Each structure stands twice: as C-alpha cells, then as structure tokens.
Amino acid sequence: MKKQLINRTFVAIAAFTVMLLFSITIKAQTKEAYAVMDTTAKRLSFFYNSNKDLYTKDIVYTLPNSTTDYPEWCLEYKRKEITTAIFDSSMKDYNPGSTRLWFDGFEKLTTIEGIKNLNTDNVTNMGGMFSGCKLLTTLDVSDFKTQNVIYMDYMFDGCELLKIIDVSNFDTKSVTNMSFMFYGCKALETIDVSNFNTQLVTDMSDMFHNCELLTTIYCNSVWDCEASICMFQDCKQLKGGENGNVVYDENKIDIEMANPTTGYFTRKKPSGIEFQRIENKRLHRDIYTLQGTRLNNIPEHSAQGIYIINGKKVVKR
C-alpha cells in the first residue's frame, strides 16, 4: 500500500511538472505586440515576438488593442526625452487597428528607424500619430496602407521641421476627419494631395493652418466639406489657380478656396512617364480593312476606301 502511494505521488508530481513545463513553453511561444522604452538610451522600440519578459530593466508597454485607446506610453512624461523610435522587423507580422497618438508629444524625436516594418493594412485611426514631433526632419510614410483609415486628424500636427510629407499615395476613401492634419507644419513648402478622395470627409477645420512656408498644394479636384473653418489660415505664401495668380487672402481661408481654378490648389501636370503613357494610349489605334486585315496605319498614298479604326468605320477619300 505504501509503495502504491509513493508511486501515485511520483506520477502526480511528474504530471504537474510536465504541465508546468508545457505551460511555460506555450507562453514562451506566444507572440505579443509591445513597446520597450529605454530611458537611458532615449529609445522606444516596437516588437511582435515572444521575448517580452526578457526586458526587465526597461519600461514595457502592451500595444493597445482598441482603435480608440490611448497608448500607455503617451501618459509617460519621459517620452518627451525620446530621440529614436525603432520598428523591429517582427512588426511586419502584426496588424494594429490603431496608431493613434503613438508619437504624440515626442518633442525630441529625430529618428524613426524601420518604419516600413509597420503594417498599417488594418489601421482605422491615425489621429495625432506624429503630433508634436517638433524636431523630426524626415519621415517616410509613402508606403502606408490607408484604405481603412477613418481618422487622420492632427496626424502631422506640430511637425515644425518637416519639409517633405509624401502622402501622394494615401488612399483616403474611408476618411471622415482631416482637421488639423498638417497644422503648424511650418517648414512644409509643397504637398501633393492630388490622390485624396474626400467624399466622406466632414471636417477639414485648420487642415493647413499655420503652414507658414507652404506655397503649393497639388490637387486637381474641387473639395467640399461641412466644417472647414480656418482651413488655410496663415498660409501667407500660398498660391494657386489656373495660372498661379490666386494669392493668399486672409478673408478667404475655408473650403471655398479648395479648388484649382479660383482657389489655392495647383493642378498637377503628368510627369514625363505619365505623359508618355497618355500619348501611347492616344496613338494606339486598331486599324482594319473591311476584309479583316489589320494595318499599322493608313498609308498616305493608299487607295480611297472604308477602314475600321477602333471599331468605327472611317472613309478615306
């Protein structure tokens, strides 16, 4: 009896040990999205892996899983001293639903490394993402996937030293709020929003407010919006219109000026490659005789007759 009891005890201990090791193994293999703030190196790093528990000397934050939650690190005063942000390659496999306020108030941030590792396919909220990044001089958002983004308000607000913000590939068909989007981008001189779809946007208030050096906004469309107060306020260098003869007027700073004819927008002309594509399309013609023989063109001295050009009958006399 005593021997059986010992055996049962041994089996129970062995089973418990196996379960504990299994639990530890599963936990070690579970990926988590998190950010690590190293206040000594003045660095904030983003990861999506199973190594979260290894960072015992730094401040570790779990990435918010809500599209409206504030990231916890934005409540940390020490964020104002961070100079470098890094997106680890593991972040390519993570799909955040929001990047709202991720770098809000990072006043000394000068470098963002690996931003192409940030997967934005499922992001719906980019509001205030880079708001207050006063010392950031370069920022590559050209590869951002924005087809699901609803909020872009305050996105680049206060990025005072950014001379270039490439949003030319942004898909904005789902966006409803662009208020304060470029507010206070004092070094910005030109911006291309010709690809913007603004049909759902209801608020463009202060969108370009206080862009002191902004001279050109490329856009071929006429925008309309319910709220647009102070949209172009203090953009004193801004010019637009058909011949660039529409200059800034402090009494005309709302949506009425968001057009390329009588407003502050400048039509974007096709680049050399785009123009060649247009020409190729225009010059490409399907030409056939009535007998069905395809011709490259109609010879200048060819006989009079009827030809089929692009599906239409054309008489050569």
> Tell me: the pLDDT tens digits for 26-80?
444 699 999 999 999 999 999 999 999 999 999 999 998 766 678 999 999 999 9
Cα separations in angstroms, 29 against 17, 25, 90: 18, 6, 14
What pLDDT sits at residue 64? 87
Cα separations in angstroms, 6 against 10, 145, 205, 295: 6, 63, 77, 97
pTM here is 0.78
Residue of 180, 163, 176, 114 lying closest to 143 (CA atoms): 114
What pLDDT sits at residue 70? 83
Residues of the chain with pLDDT under 50: 16, 18, 20-28, 273-284, 301
Q: Reduced to 3 states, what is the DSSP secondary structure of residue 109? A: coil
Tokens 């680890």 correspond to: 88
What pLDDT sits at residue 276? 47
206 neighbors 227 (Cβ within 8 angstroms)? no
- Identify any residues that bridge with 190 across adjacent strands, giving them in sequence order: 216
Whole-number Å distance between alpha carbons of 184 and 234: 10
312 DSSP 8-state letter: E
Q: How many residues are given for the chain?
A: 317
Give the contacts of 175 (CB within 8 A, at least 6 positions apart).
146, 149, 150, 151, 152, 197, 198, 200, 201
Whole-number Å distance between alpha carbons of 185 and 193: 15
Pairing of strands 294-295, 287-289: antiparallel
Residue of 91, 104, 13, 80 lying closest to 45 (CA atoms): 91
92 neighbors 120 (Cβ within 8 angstroms)? no
What pLDDT sits at residue 82? 98
What pLDDT sits at residue 159? 98
What pLDDT sits at residue 166? 97
- Which tokens go with 89? 């390659």
200 DSSP 8-state letter: T
> Within 10 Å of residue 280's Cβ, how many Cβ atoms?
9
What pLDDT sits at residue 260? 97
Cα separations in angstroms, 269 against 203, 220, 242, 246, 262: 28, 9, 12, 18, 17
Whole-number Å distance between alpha carbons of 135 and 108: 6
What pLDDT sits at residue 22? 41
- Which tokens go with 4? 């059986």
